[in-house]
Structure 1
């Protein structure tokens, strides 16, 4: 496809001469002898290059150039000024307005062809470069999105869709530090599916996976605040981090979770009560300089141990008074 040249000049003899020269060199030329016609043509047909007379009767050529360059869709079109003048100030104004070159009247055929050809070649190279830069920017954006997704996935348990152990460790450390700074309580619930190994052995691993997903869904629906986090702690164990939550409220939430699973009435013939249940251990402390985060986990583990050794399907609580027993137990 031949390049399209828009020639703007109030002198029709100049327009005919430019058309004759450039048409003979394989270019398609459209002409305008008024600024209003030039702007209309620009809207209808986006030319590859513009030849613009500096002195127009209805509007100064430089002012017209400024109008053209003010439109984003026209900013990449190279403009060569055509002038009888070679005044430095005039040319400076033209270049400042966005012109890339100029030719003087009277028009010389060889000079016109060379300058138009050179500018179009440069424009093509710039268009290719711009396209590459746009593609690179697009690829960069795509990679950024994928990296965010991958980062998110690295904190998500693939089976259940809730947080994984990595997320649990990160959030617990952050919330522990916050609780210590503001002297606020923090609670932890550790949950175990009762007789899960027997469930797997009886119904198969696919049903076992469905069981894990169901439990995760119920636990996630039971928490009420965005700051509360449910995570898969490992195997059939889950953990719930409850910032700024005292023991009473943590126990109440744990009981709601226990009831939520029990009310599903999922058959579990290998369980003592023949339906799926969970055991929950609750620990709640206000961190201080003498208390390590690991104590909270040890307490919740101790409480879960008590729940499993007291008939399962129940909620048990461990307090700071149990730390010594936890250490030696």
Structure 2
């Protein structure tokens, strides 16, 4: 009789454990079609809002309400085919329609003959964890995009939307190395708007800003190729960096730029020319033979000074003195 009494105690203990467990516990019968639930504990009914009689006889998938995670379903199917336990996290719906995230552990129950008769399901509400992870992921994404935005802002001139001097100087170092490896020329064009102080004094800073934006846009649209770019160097000065131009191309390009700005026909009574124009100086270097990228900027600056002295509204190439 003692053995029987022991078995009774064990049965009682098991029932107490299942009944009072904090996690949801379900048992489904896989000998019947669609693997229906045959048992749920109190924690499951608290977690889902469904009473036992509402769910017994149903397949547990009703909790997904058609909002199916295909990879989790696939994991369960594979586990059932291979008779292995599995762990998945499912988006489930309580009876009142609210969502909770259910970490489901499924374990096959095997009888004396080695056949699977039932599945034991342990359900954990991991909503807080999932929401925390999502929040962290979103915050990380936000931090990353903020970082990218800051990097962008650090390299962009706010008024014109062009790259700024800092970006140009960083790029010049990079492009110089690339050009020396691929035996390419680098051309620097330095551009200055003629009589711009007088323009601001006459028409005001708002008109001045508008003129800067228009000129920036025009210069930006005159690119030869993707590797060329224009930067606002400061005030009314712009710089263009171009890779692989011949002397003839640089001459034609610079002449075209001066002409394009003149063609904008921005009225300027403070200029002897009657409208806004630019002066441009440029210098070319082959980084294979020159190791000083700052020198090419200085030379372009000198050529710009010559363009100013010679009467403005023109392009001048740097020539060795």
Query: Could you tell me whether the CA contact under 8 Å between 1:4 and 1:28 is conserved in 2?
Result: no
Match of 1:227, SS state, is coil
Q: 1:177 to 1:77 in 2, by over 3 A?
A: closer
Write out aligned runs for 1:280-319 (5 A): 280-319=280-319
Offset of 1:295 from its aligned partner?
1.6
**Cα distance between partner residues in 2 of 1:203 and 1:252:** 32
**1:130, distance to aligned residue in structure 2 (A):** 2.0
Q: Does 1:38 align with 2:59?
A: yes
User: Which has the larger helix fraction?
Assistant: 1
Aligned-partner SS, 2:252: helix
> Does residue 250 of the first structure (1) align with residue 270 of the second (2)?
no
Match of 1:221 in 2: 221
Query: 1:52 maps to what in 2?
Result: none
Residue number in structure 2 paired with 1:28: 51
Structure 1 65/145 Cα, relative in aligned 2: closer, same or farther at 3 Å?
farther
Deviation of 1:41 after TM superposition, in Å, equals: 3.4
Which residue of 2 is the match for residue 78 of structure 1?
104
Please tell me whether the aligned partners of residues 191 and 278 of structure 1 are also in contact (alpha carbons under 8 angstroms): yes
Unaligned runs of 5+ in 1: 47-58, 102-118, 323-329
In 1, Cα distance between equivalents of 2:138 and 2:59: 35
Stretch deviating more after TM superposition (196-205 or 22-31): 22-31
How many angstroms apart in 1 are the aligned matches of 2:193 and 2:268? 11
The whole-number CA distance in structure 1 between the counterparts of 2:133 and 2:41 is 37
Q: Residues 163-242 of structure 1 correspond to what in structure 2 (within 5 A)?
A: 163-242=163-242
**Structure 1 residue 40, shift from structure 2 partner:** 6.2
Contact 2:24 2:40 in 1 (8 A): no
Q: How many Å separate the matches in 2 of 1:71 and 1:22?
A: 18
Structure 1 SS opposite 2:184: coil
Change (3 A) 1:209 1:86: farther
Q: Is 1:8 equivalent to 2:34 in the alignment? A: no
Question: 1:68/1:16 Cα in 2 relative to 1: closer, same or farther (>3 Å)?
Answer: closer
Aligned equivalents of 2:190, 2:216: Cα separation in 1: 13
Partner secondary structure for residue 262 of structure 1: helix
Distance in 2, matches of 1:261 and 1:293, equals 28
Rate the CA distance shift 1:71–1:292 in 2: closer, same or farther, 3 A. Answer: closer
> Which range is displaced more, 287-296 or 276-285?
287-296
| Distance change in 2, residues 1:268/1:28 (3 Å) | same
- Tell me which residue corresponds to 1:278: 278
Aligned to 1:264: 264
| Segments ≥4 residues shifted beyond 3 Å | 3-7, 15-27, 30-33, 39-46, 61-77, 79-87, 288-291
- Residues 76 and 256 from structure 1, CA distance in 2 versus in 1: closer, same or farther, beyond 3 angstroms? same
Aligned-pair Cα RMSD in Å: 3.9
Give the whole-Å Cα distance in 1 for the aligned partners of 2:255 and 2:303.
Answer: 14
Structure 2: unaligned runs, 5 residues or longer: 1-22, 68-76, 93-100
Q: Quote the offset at 1:223 in angstroms.
A: 1.1
> Number of aligned pairs?
274
Whether contact under 8 Å (1:164, 1:233) holds in the other structure is yes
Post-superposition offset of 1:211: 1.0
Matches within 5 A, 1:104-123: 123=124
Query: Secondary structure in 2 aligned to 1:266?
Result: coil
Residue 236 to residue 32, structure 1, CA distance change in 2 (3 Å): same
Given the alignment of the two structures, is residue 132 of structure 1 paired with residue 132 of structure 2, yes or no? Answer: yes
> Are the counterparts in 2 of residues 4 and 27 from structure 1 also a CA contact under 8 Å?
no
Instruction: Report SS of the residue matched to 1:222.
Output: coil
